[in-house]
Amino acid sequence: MIRFLSLLLLAAMLSACNTTRWVRPDTASEQADRDDIDCQRWAAREASTAAFYGAYGYGPYNRRITRPDTGLPDRYGYRVRDEAGLHNLCMRTKGYQRQ
């Protein structure tokens, strides 16, 4: 049990040290940070709306319909994956790349 907890703590520390950033050659870092926050907020809003109203065929109004790609309902955490994908899409649309 102690070994598992120490590995979990190590994984958390390594993920906190992630230094990848979104960059665009003609943009200051302050503007890049603002765009990143805007995209995070937009992605969270869109993923929440899709999860609630059932844009992907799931949610409280489509309880019997499952996600088309996996056959699993949203309660297994696909909202987080959708939010991350939307955030990446937003930043790439604005011309940023990960570095």
Dump pLDDT digits (tens) for 20-78: 789 999 999 899 999 999 999 999 988 887 776 655 554 555 555 444 555 444 454 67
pLDDT at 4: 77
43/37 Cα distance (integer angstroms): 10
pTM: 0.61
Cα dist from 36 to 17, 50, 79, whole Å: 18, 21, 19
Candidates 31, 15, 36; CA nearest to 98 is 36
Per-residue pLDDT, 93: 94
